[in-house]
Structure 1
Amino acid sequence: MTNSQVNPKVEEFFSKSKKWKEEYLKLREIVLDCGLTEEYKWMHPCYTYETKNIVLIHGFKEYCALLFHKGALLQDTNGILIQQTENVQAARQIRFTNVQEIIELETILKSYINEAIQVEKAGLEVNFKKNTEMKIPEELQNKFNEIPELKTAFEALTPGRQRAYTLYFSSPKQSKTRESRIEKYQQHILNGKGLNDKPIQ
């Protein structure tokens, strides 16, 4: 791994990680071996091919994972991809609870990453089921226009989380109240969190 491959924000993310540090570093080594570019998006290490998102490394209480942005399009010949919830349409995870599991799967992981790169090269897209019930409130749309990253982060949320936010933001009668709710949860959305994931102080 050369220094030119290393993103300083990702370095900082790993250096601050108390849990899963060893696992993160092994996953990073595997991903970079596949020739991807290291970036920092949605508060996590994200790896891209010609600016297209391929995989993201993230950690939870019980496991850490490699998230394939278009995992639904992969063959998954080893049956190791996990759909986080039934509402997640495109992304799939491979989960780990220790570094040994990652080492044992290294060759398979590389083949999955290479397949994900081929999916991008071929320009394949996941056919999303349209959710017709959701009407984005005007105040949220204005915020999206002002901060494009917020729109990207919102669209990366599961449909269930999007729906929860949309209902919560739409419910107040006064526009001012709707705006203050959006303001309050803006960083939460950018962090990839759902409305009820963690209380906001």
Structure 2
Amino acid sequence: MEDKKSWNSNDLWEEELEILKSIINKTELIETTKWGGIVYIVNNKNVIGIGGFKNFFTIWFFNGVFLKDELNVLVNANEGVTKALRQWRFTSKEEINEKQILAYIKEAITNEKEGKSIKPAKKSRIVCDFLDTELDADKELANAFEKFTSSKQNEFLEYIETAKQEKTKLARFEKIKPMILNNTGLNNKYR
């Protein structure tokens, strides 16, 4: 049986997280586990998650950017990188206010049902003259390459383009050519 990863600091906040769970259980959200953490969903969409860290425990709202945040409690955990996710951090169980938390969660559920979310920006196609030349010379390879999504195509393009030396580009191309022909993404083993 595979050993599932679990959030590494939940044990520091076991009682507090159980209190949050009891509050969340008063909503229609369904508990699941994603990325080793406790996540709550509605209509198969991530709404909130809870977890413990070294110095605090938190509820995170996957699309928290759309919440009114009248209490001014939400923080962006990674300013400049995180677009939509917001955290409500706590350092003791005394800070837990069921009525306030339920209001935020219910607003998050409503927002999710209304489809409020930030869609990831489409990345433009990476320019890689080396791979483009190879694709132009091999119709079968070009056809196989076109079957990939644009993000998977970009993974291949970036893999070749980031090589500094021509011999490295060639070696990388020889590695990915059978992957492309077999419809195997560059990073499939990590997914």
Relative to the length of structure 1, the TM-score reads 0.59
Q: Percent identity over the alignment?
A: 29
Taking the TM superposition and a 5 Å limit, the aligned residue runs for 1:51-200 are 51-85=44-78, 86-102=80-96, 105-126=97-118, 130=121, 132=123, 135=126, 171-172=162-163, 173=169, 174=172, 176=175, 186=190
SS in 1 for 2:39: strand
Deviation at 1:124, TM superposition (A): 1.8
Contact kept? 2:57, 2:91, Cα under 8 Å: yes
- Given that 1:44 and 1:56 are in contact with CA atoms closer than 8 Å, whether structure 2 keeps it comes out as yes
Deviation per CA, 1:107-141, whole angstroms, max 9, x where unpaired?
1110000000110122222265x375785x99xxx
Q: Which residue of 2 aligns with 1:34?
A: 27
Query: Equivalents in 1 of 2:31, 2:115: separation in Å?
Result: 21
Deviation per residue, 1:76-133 (Å, 9 max, x gap): 011001111221101000001111112xx221110000000110122222265x3757
For 2:55, what is the secondary structure of its paired residue?
coil
In structure 2, distance between residues paired with 1:90 and 1:110: 20
- Pair member with larger Rg: 2
Q: Give the letter for the 1:87 counterpart.
A: V
Q: 1:17 to 1:125 in 2, by over 3 A?
A: closer
How many residue pairs get aligned? The number is: 147
Q: Which runs of 5+ in 2 are unaligned?
A: 132-144, 152-157, 164-168, 180-185
* Compared CA separation, residues 183 and 62, structure 1 to 2 (3 A): farther
Match of 2:154 in 1: none
The alignment's TM-score, normalised by the length of structure 2, stands at: 0.62
Aligned AA (1:46): V
Relative to structure 1, the CA distance from residue 73 to residue 169 in structure 2 (aligned partners, 3 Å threshold; closer, same or farther) is farther
Partner of 1:19, secondary structure, is helix
> Is 1:18 aligned to 2:11, yes or no?
yes
RMSD between superposed Cα atoms in Å: 3.7
2-structure distance, mates of 1:67, 1:169: 37
Please state how far the C-alpha of 1:47 moved relative to its aligned partner. Answer: 0.5
Q: Flag the 1:19–1:115 CA change in 2: closer, same or farther, 3 A.
A: same
- The answer on whether the counterparts of 2:57 and 2:89 sit within 8 Å (CA) in structure 1 is yes
